[in-house]
A and B are shown apart, each in its own frame.
Chain A
Amino acid sequence: GQQVMQIPQYQHVQEGEDFTTYCNSSTTLSNIQWYKQRPGGHPVFLIQLVKSGEVKKQKRLTFQFGEAKKNSSLHITATQTTDVGTYFCAGTFYGNNRLAFGKGNQVVVIP
């Protein structure tokens, strides 16, 4: 089926260090979106990537979309305690209007 796989599912990150979370699909995606959900909160839209090889930055966050539009990554530098939460990638497949969520990457920040 059309699924989006996300790795790792859990990360413990020392404050100040960098980390990356990855998203992969076996099928070409129309677009990929990233969401962040804080503990006890709801998913909040971060970014959408549409073009092959696209790179977008938001302060300490860098988002990439692969050349084949089958994978994506989110890289966070100089991790802060406010980065704690679960990061979901969500992809749209051509011909399908559903947003397919990955299982999420739960990030714990160690002070």
Chain B
Amino acid sequence: DTEVTQTPKHLVMGMTNKKSLKCEQHMGHRAMYWYKQKAKKPPELMFVYSYEKLSINESVPSRFSPECPNSSLLNLHLHALQPEDSALYLCASSQHTSGVYNEQFFGPGTRLTVL
């Protein structure tokens, strides 16, 4: 299985809602990532997990809360988001974070709209 899956595909939420994005991979990869992508822009790194531990937080606001329950799963918990947080949220995985092992496999993304 060489696929990264993400649910839901689309999400519309109000600024007071709490929701979660889910990501799963079964490639045995030990690094998982959350990216945010705005239209016509490159993916912007948010968080990196390496061996289920948070290794990089790119100064992301606390209204985004990542979680890695096990080596195959990655969640992103959302609370009190702002309309400017509307974007495509991409999950990715790689064998490891370093060296030649960081080629990344992306999921299809969750298109988030915050009203």
A interface with B by C-beta (< 8 Å): 30-31, 33, 35, 41-45, 48, 50, 86, 88, 92, 97-99, 101-104, 106
Contacts and interface: CB of A to CB of B under 8 A. Distances in A.
A41 B41 CA distance: 13
B102 A99 contact: yes
Contacts of B104: 33, 43, 45, 99
Interface in B63-114: 88, 90, 97-100, 102-109
A98 B97 CA distance: 8
Contact of A97 (B42, B98, B106, B107): B98
Instruction: Classify the interface of chain B: helix, strand, loop or mixed.
Output: loop
Interface of B: 40-43, 45, 48, 55-56, 88, 90, 97-100, 102-109
Secondary structure of the A contact surface, majority rule: strand
B90 to A, nearest CB: 6
Contacts of B40: 86, 104, 106
A98 B45 contact: yes
7 contacts: A33-B104, A42-B88, A42-B90, A97-B55, A98-B48, A99-B45, A99-B102
A88 B98 contact: no
A97 B100 contact: no
B41 A50 contact: no
A104 B42 contact: yes
A48 B107 contact: no
Contact of B56 (A30, A48, A97, A101): A97
A34 B11 CA distance: 29
B42 A30 contact: no
B90 A43 contact: yes
Contacts of B97: 97
A101 B41 CA distance: 10
A88 B42 contact: yes
